Structure 1
Amino acid sequence: MKDRMIIGHIETINLPELGIEQLPARVDTGAQTSSLHVDNIKQINHKGKPAVEFDIHPEIHNVAKVIRCCAPIYDIRKVKSSNGMSEQRFVIKTKAQLGRYIWQIEITLTDRSDMTYLMLLGRQAIADNFYVDASQTFIASMKAE
């Protein structure tokens, strides 16, 4: 059996290829895919390939801080959100770091401005590496120190 880390229902995650560190994320085993709150999504061609540019506000309490990102489009999917509405979303694939694990995850880009956490970490991203203790928070962060 693979060595899995126990994580809480809230953890901080790094997305190094996007320049994001210590982003609080809600771990949601009920959601298949992960999602990230972004603004100003624009489809572009980057080095001759389809890509998206978007803004991330990595500090929820400091909306003045903005990171402009660019990533290749991995897919476009119809996703049903927690409120039951379906929408087409761009999907990117990027490295994630949580505790001692660094791995590739798929993230849908959407408006999560009405949510408490800017990122939702779905079961597709955590299935191979983690068990979730829903009664705990920031377990991986404490082990990393």
Structure 2
Amino acid sequence: MHRLLKILPLAALLGAPSLPASAEPRIYGWVENGLLLPENLPVKAKLDTGAQTSSLDAKDLRRFERDGEPWVRFTVEVKEQGKNRRVTFERKVVRDVKVRGAGGAERRPVVLMSICIGERRYDEQFSLNNRSKMIYPVLIGRRTLEQMGVVDVSRTYTVQPSCAGDALR
């Protein structure tokens, strides 16, 4: 509770959504377990206040058209119980984002994905990028974090995904 008293004033200063007087905000660690839905693919997600848009490690990106609209097919690979599991996704491209880095600028597709963290499902935009050099395949950005709660950088794995409905088949 003492740590919460330190975090809440900072969250208020940074423009965290206001909460009813009786509600305590959910506090998450900087790394949490999640499930990509509806495929129920377990992923480790880094909660990153430095990123605006969430990002997903996507390999074998193939753009195509469906009914005259841009779509993308991609593969997500995770370790599950010591074995590699590869799942192929197809999603409509909602926009492209231009990312500038040391190697120059590149355009990445952004798609809508559903992820379960704790007891809640989030339907959010994810930019697709090969994150194989990164430790965590999923990065949760501020657009999603503002709906979640407070991030305590001294904690990890504070919740397990347990969404109702299509999250658990």
TM-score band by shorter chain is: 0.7 to 0.9
Query: Does 1:72 pair with 2:92?
Result: yes
Question: Match of 1:16, as an amino acid?
Answer: L
Is residue 56–residue 68 contact of structure 1 (8 Å, CA) maintained in 2? Answer: yes
Report SS of the residue matched to 1:30.
Answer: coil
> What do residues 76-101 of structure 1 show as CA deviations (whole Å, max 9, x unaligned)?
011245x6853210000122211111
Report if aligned partners of 1:41, 1:53 keep a CA contact under 8 Å in 2: yes
Aligned counterpart in structure 2 of residue 13 of structure 1, from 23, 34, 48: 34
- Alignment partner of 1:45 is 2:51: no
TM-score (norm 1): 0.85
Q: Give the structure with higher Rg (CA).
A: 2
Q: RCO greater where, 1 or 2, for CA within 8 Å and sep 6 or more?
A: 1
Secondary structure of the 1:57 match is strand
2:124 is matched by which residue type in structure 1?
I
What is the aligned counterpart of 1:22 among 42, 46, 56? 42
Give the secondary-structure state (helix, strand or coil) at the position aligned to 1:32: coil
Rounded Cα–Cα distance in structure 2 between residues aligned with 1:70 and 1:12: 23
SS of 2:78's equivalent? coil
d(CA) in 1 for partners of 2:66 and 2:78?
Answer: 23
Gaps of 5+ in 2: 1-18, 163-169
Deviation at 1:71, TM superposition (A): 0.4
- Tell whether 2:117 aligns with 1:98: yes
Structure 1 distance, partners of 2:137, 2:122, is 20
| Runs (4+) off by over 6 Å | none
Q: What is the Cα deviation at residue 20 of structure 1?
A: 4.0
**Alignment counterpart, residue 143 of structure 2, candidates 117, 120, 124:** 124
Q: Deviations over 1:33-81 (max 9, x none)?
A: 1111111101112344321000110228644x21111001011011245
**Consecutive unaligned residues in structure 1, runs of 5 or more:** none
Q: CA RMSD in A?
A: 2.2
Question: Which structure: greater helix fraction?
Answer: 2
TM-score (norm 2): 0.74
